[in-house]
Structure 1
Amino acid sequence: MPLQALNTKAQQAFFGTVLFQAVVVIVMVAIVFGKVEDAVPLTDSRYKTIPCYLALFILAELFEIFMAYDALRLRNVIQLVGLLLFHAALIVMASLQVHETHTALVTHPGVNWTVDYANGDGAGTLWQRVLPFLIVSPVVIGISWLVLIWFVRQLYYEFGWAIFHIVGANPAAKTMYQFYQVMICLLKFDFFAFVGVTMQLLIVVLAKNTAEFGLTVAAIPIVLVLLIGCGLAVQREIKWLMTISLILMLAAESYFYKLVRFYDPNSEAQYETVRATLTTFTIIAFLLLFGTFGIGLRCFADFDKGLLRSKLHGKDYKQVNGGVKESLFGSKKEEGGYSSGSALGPRVSIE
């Protein structure tokens, strides 16, 4: 895939920041995983939060790299803002992992390595050896978040011409197109949230010989088909497919009954070391899906209002080099700019 999205310093700096923090965080998480794997059996249900921690952050960082490039390629300011919210959620997730790793590793507080290396939290214990690497992750993510906010501000002005170029000067069309962008962005984040919850359940909690394990695995392709189908429906304005997608989306909310199980006295023990992260993920996934349903209804109402061509061909927009002001008023005389004094060419109509 050509890196035509990274053709300005702001875009390169934004993507470089995402890439740098992703590498650092994955390395930190991998170090924690390696140290714990060498000391305790990860097959023990108590320690399964550690491989889950590794898998979750690899998924999150790869997803963020993809979303960052995708947002820059599409000149999508809304997706960039969504990335800032996602990045903030990563800070919370990394902080929760410090607590959950402590819960998994420390069963004898105050005991040092001379008594119990794996289960104490005193000097020289396993917990004290992995703690610095656990702390680095939220710190690096937090600092990179502040840097990203700065560059999103620059990219906001850089990409401001994109929607006008795609839908023209009609305020109603601009609003409809922005709701469409929000819908597509939400569908992408729905995918991550659902995969994140499912992956944690499969790694940490569920036994392979249970019906719940089979149902959880079966839900994966169903939800993926739902999200892809909804994306196609809203882009191509396919009413029957959009109707089915919205109905299934509302029905999928029932999947989050699992939230009750995290605190049910009969099942809470198996969720002890991952309860905080699972609860956070499940609530966020529930709210994202509910928000997607609401925005989906709004997009459905905008079908057949003249936006279809912009949805299908908006991705072909190419940025005007030098920005809006420069392209309109700063052209050289030989290029026929407004300041050149040359005769105006034929007027271009804007749909």
Structure 2
Amino acid sequence: MAVEPLLATKAQRAFIGTVTIQAIVVLVMVGITFNKVDEHVDLHEGKYTVHVSLVTTWDKNSRFTQTLPCYLALFALAELFELFMAFDALRLRNIIQLIGLLIFHLALVVSAALQVHQTKSALVTLGDDCGSEESFTDCGGSGTLWAKIQPFLIVAPCVIGLSWFLMIFFVRKLYAEFGWAIFHVVGANPKMKTMYQWYQIMICLLKFDFFFFSGVTMQLLIVVLQRNSAEYGVTIAAIPVVLILLILCGLAVQREVKWIMSISLVMMLAASSYLYKLVRFYEPSSQAQYQTTRATLTVFTIVAFILLIGTFAVGLRCFADFDRGLQASKINAVPSRPKLAGEKASSNQAYQSGAPLGPRISIE
């Protein structure tokens, strides 16, 4: 089997098509929800544009007006990231990244389901049975704003869940296709193949580290932190620092630069202290400000911490493989289909679809 060009096979086109279509549908659902709320709630000033109960405070309004834009921004980031990761995995013929993408997609289902509860928690402040016309925006009964947007919020996890099963089907087909690509890169040596797979896992983890760090940071900046606080400035400053750290770590593991890799591993251990944020989400003195985003923030923070520890462990494994002959394969990791000059090659010059081979070698 030859190494096909990007999107040259039905399985590749079907996989990327599934990811693209579900991303469009989900973003449309979230966009419709945002638009319907924006018709009745001033999302910029934190004040309702319709009559509301006097017991509703400005702080509650403010938390809601920030929660829904954060929900929209978070899902836009997730869907764009998933599209990038899908194209990148197909470009690199990286089955490890495709498996990681399946896990990430399953996490999107959970996140979309959590957002249904969190949006209701932020919007419905007077309960489900109040039902008066004066409480259209902050009641949960029939005929209210919540009743209108709930179906669109429910569609999102359903569509993401359905597309997950389709993606599993296509990944199974891509598994066999990409196995031949790895053979083109590292050859038939089992030890080299194992080292290359650990390298692929490391690069994949670095990409997911960036997304989950960005997700936590986005929620803190949009919903929780005050712009005049010191914590807000520290969070802003951490964004380029983490981005540079991840990029340098990726280059270090690819080019096998030991001193940069050592610094990256030490910084990962230092960054794990960020887990202290979980305490602030639930301690009495600060839990109120995290009320409408606590569930999503908790999930993102825990996953980010687990990924960071996993990246550190895999980084140590990759560090141990430095200077063992894999560097050239890492740098030239994108296989391409060899071109044949002239007419069709005979059977002793080509294997199936035209990739020239040397003597027969057993991949096992």
Common fold by TM > 0.5: yes
Structure 1 271/347 Cα, relative in aligned 2: closer, same or farther at 3 Å? closer
> Which region of structure 1 is more displaced relative to structure 2, 191-200 or 154-163?
154-163
* 1:54 alignment counterpart: 72
* 2:53 alignment counterpart: none
Structure 1 346/55 Cα, relative in aligned 2: closer, same or farther at 3 Å? closer
Task: Write the mapping of 1:245-260 to structure 2, written as runs, cut at 5 A.
Answer: 245-260=264-279
Correspondence for 2:345 among 335, 339, 342: 335
- Give the whole-Å Cα distance in 2 for the aligned partners of 1:160 and 1:218: 41
* 1:153 alignment counterpart: 172
* 2:136 alignment counterpart: 117
* 1:175 alignment counterpart: 194
Cα offsets for 1:89-144 (capped at 9, x unmatched): 00000000000001001111112252410110111111101000000000000000
* 1:13 alignment counterpart: 14
Cα offsets for 1:136-177 (capped at 9, x unmatched): 000000000000000000100111101111111111100000
Task: Write the mapping of 1:57-136 to structure 2, written as runs, cut at 5 A.
Answer: 57-109=75-127, 110-136=129-155
Task: Give the C-alpha shift of residue 242 in structure 1.
Answer: 0.2
Which secondary structure state, in structure 2, belongs to the residue aligned with residue 335 of structure 1?
coil
- Give the whole-Å Cα distance in 1 for the aligned partners of 2:254 and 2:66: 40
* 2:259 alignment counterpart: 240
Residue type at the aligned position of 2:42: P
Cα pair 2:5 2:337 within 8 Å, conserved: no
Consecutive unaligned residues in structure 2, runs of 5 or more: 47-61, 351-355
Residue type at the aligned position of 1:305: R
Which protein is richer in helix relative to its size?
Answer: 1
Percent sequence identity is 63
> Which region of structure 1 is more displaced relative to structure 2, 27-36 or 268-277?
27-36
Cα offsets for 1:260-302 (capped at 9, x unmatched): 1000100000000000000000000000111000000000000
* 2:183 alignment counterpart: 164
- Give the whole-Å Cα distance in 1 for the aligned partners of 2:287 and 2:337: 53
Residue type at the aligned position of 2:34: F
* 2:51 alignment counterpart: none
Task: Give the C-alpha shift of residue 4 in structure 1.
Answer: 4.8
Cα pair 2:12 2:174 within 8 Å, conserved: yes
Residue type at the aligned position of 1:302: D
Cα pair 2:63 2:122 within 8 Å, conserved: no
Correspondence for 2:313 among 284, 294, 300: 294
Consecutive unaligned residues in structure 1, runs of 5 or more: 322-332
Cα pair 1:162 1:319 within 8 Å, conserved: no
Cα offsets for 1:228-247 (capped at 9, x unmatched): 01000000000000000000
Which secondary structure state, in structure 1, belongs to the residue aligned with residue 142 of structure 2?
coil
Structure 1 157/121 Cα, relative in aligned 2: closer, same or farther at 3 Å? same
Which secondary structure state, in structure 2, belongs to the residue aligned with residue 159 of structure 1?
helix
Cα pair 2:29 2:152 within 8 Å, conserved: yes
- Give the whole-Å Cα distance in 1 for the aligned partners of 2:95 and 2:357: 32
Matched, 1:25 2:35: no
Cα pair 1:113 1:123 within 8 Å, conserved: no
* Superposition TM-score, scaled by structure 1 size: 0.91
Q: Could you say what the CA RMSD is over the residues aligned between the two structures, in angstroms?
A: 2.1
- Give the whole-Å Cα distance in 1 for the aligned partners of 2:313 and 2:153: 38
Cα pair 1:102 1:127 within 8 Å, conserved: yes
* 1:324 alignment counterpart: none
Task: Give the C-alpha shift of residue 314 in structure 1.
Answer: 1.7
Task: Give the C-alpha shift of residue 346 in structure 1.
Answer: 9.5
- Give the whole-Å Cα distance in 2 for the aligned partners of 1:310 and 1:153: 25
- Give the whole-Å Cα distance in 2 for the aligned partners of 1:57 and 1:320: 40
Residue type at the aligned position of 1:7: A
Task: Give the C-alpha shift of residue 348 in structure 1.
Answer: 5.8
Cα pair 2:109 2:157 within 8 Å, conserved: yes
Structure 1 250/244 Cα, relative in aligned 2: closer, same or farther at 3 Å? same
Which secondary structure state, in structure 1, belongs to the residue aligned with residue 182 of structure 2?
helix
Cα offsets for 1:182-224 (capped at 9, x unmatched): 0000000001000000000000000000001011101101100
> Which region of structure 1 is more displaced relative to structure 2, 97-106 or 45-54?
45-54
Residue type at the aligned position of 2:115: Q
Matched, 1:278 2:288: no
Residue type at the aligned position of 1:170: N
Residue type at the aligned position of 1:147: L
Which secondary structure state, in structure 1, belongs to the residue aligned with residue 133 of structure 2?
coil
Task: Write the mapping of 1:35-46 to structure 2, written as runs, cut at 5 A.
Answer: 35-42=36-43, 43=46, 44-46=62-64
- Give the whole-Å Cα distance in 2 for the aligned partners of 1:33 and 1:92: 20
Residue type at the aligned position of 1:336: S
Task: Give the C-alpha shift of residue 48 in structure 1.
Answer: 1.2
- Give the whole-Å Cα distance in 2 for the aligned partners of 1:46 and 1:320: 56
- Equivalenced residues, count: 333
Residue type at the aligned position of 1:308: Q
Task: Give the C-alpha shift of residue 41 in structure 1.
Answer: 3.1
Correspondence for 1:214 among 220, 230, 233: 233
- Give the whole-Å Cα distance in 2 for the aligned partners of 1:124 and 1:221: 46
* Superposition TM-score, scaled by structure 2 size: 0.88
- Give the whole-Å Cα distance in 1 for the aligned partners of 2:170 and 2:344: 34
Which secondary structure state, in structure 2, belongs to the residue aligned with residue 123 of structure 1?
coil
